Structure 1
Amino acid sequence: MLLRLLICLLWLLPITTISHAGEVKVAVAANFTEPAKDIAAAFKARTGHEASLSFGPSGQFYTQIMNGAPYEVFMSADAERPIKAELEGLGVNGTRFVYAYGALVLWSADPKLIDPKGAVLKRAKFSKIAIADPGTAPYGVAAVETLKKLGIYEAVAPKIVKGTSIAQTYNFVSTGSAELGFVASSQVYRTKAGSRWIVPKSYYTPIDQQVILLKTGDKNPAARAWLTFLKSQEAIRIIRSYGYEVR
Structure 2
Amino acid sequence: LKEVTHAFEARNPGTRVLLSFGSSGKFYTQLTQGLEADLYFSAERLYPELLEKKGLAEAGTRRPYAIGRMVIWLDRRLGLNPSPEALKNLRITRLAIANPVHAPYGRAAITLLEHYGLLRRRTDAPVPCLKKPFSHLSWEDISWERLSQGVEAYWDASPLRQGKASFQFVYGENISHTAQLALTATQAGILALSLAVHESLSRPGVYWLAPLESHLTLEQDYVILKGRRRPEVLAFYTFVGSPEARAIFKRYGFLLPGE
For residues 87 and 241 of structure 1, the distance between their equivalents in structure 2, rounded to whole angstroms, comes to 33
- Of 232, 236, 239, 2:242 maps to 232
For residues 113 and 173 of structure 1, the distance between their equivalents in structure 2, rounded to whole angstroms, comes to 15
Is 1:172 the counterpart of 2:174 in the alignment?
no
Question: Which of the pair has the greater relative contact order for Cα pairs under 8 Å at 6+ separation?
Answer: 2
> What percentage of residue pairs aligned between the two structures are identical?
33
Ranges in structure 1 where 5+ consecutive residues have no aligned partner: 1-35
Task: After TM superposition, list the pairs within 5 Å mapping 1:2-21 onto structure 2.
Answer: none
Contact 2:72 2:83 in 1 (8 A): no
Task: After TM superposition, list the pairs within 5 Å mapping 1:23-34 onto structure 2.
Answer: none
For residues 22 and 4 of structure 2, the distance between their equivalents in structure 1, rounded to whole angstroms, comes to 17
TM-score, normalised via structure 1 length: 0.80
Q: Which has the larger radius of gyration?
A: 1
Amino acid in the other structure paired with 2:2: K
Is 1:213 the counterpart of 2:178 in the alignment?
no
The change in CA–CA distance for 1:226 and 1:62 in structure 2 (over 3 A counts) is: same
Secondary structure of residue in 2 paired with 1:227: helix
Amino acid in the other structure paired with 2:243: Q
Indicate the residue corresponding to 1:197 in structure 2. Answer: 208
For residues 77 and 167 of structure 1, the distance between their equivalents in structure 2, rounded to whole angstroms, comes to 12
Cα RMSD (Å): 1.6
Contact 1:103 1:207 in 2 (8 A): yes
Contact 2:66 2:255 in 1 (8 A): yes
Number of corresponding residues = 210
Indicate the residue corresponding to 2:5 in structure 1. Answer: 40
Q: 1:111 deviation in Å?
A: 5.0
Secondary structure of residue in 2 paired with 1:101: strand
Indicate the residue corresponding to 1:3 in structure 2. Answer: none
Indicate the residue corresponding to 1:6 in structure 2. Answer: none
For residues 79 and 85 of structure 2, the distance between their equivalents in structure 1, rounded to whole angstroms, comes to 10
Is 1:76 the counterpart of 2:31 in the alignment?
no
Ranges in structure 2 where 5+ consecutive residues have no aligned partner: 120-155, 162-166
Secondary structure of residue in 2 paired with 1:43: helix
Secondary structure of residue in 1 paired with 2:19: strand
- Of 105, 121, 145, 1:139 maps to 105
Amino acid in the other structure paired with 2:100: P
The change in CA–CA distance for 1:111 and 1:242 in structure 2 (over 3 A counts) is: farther
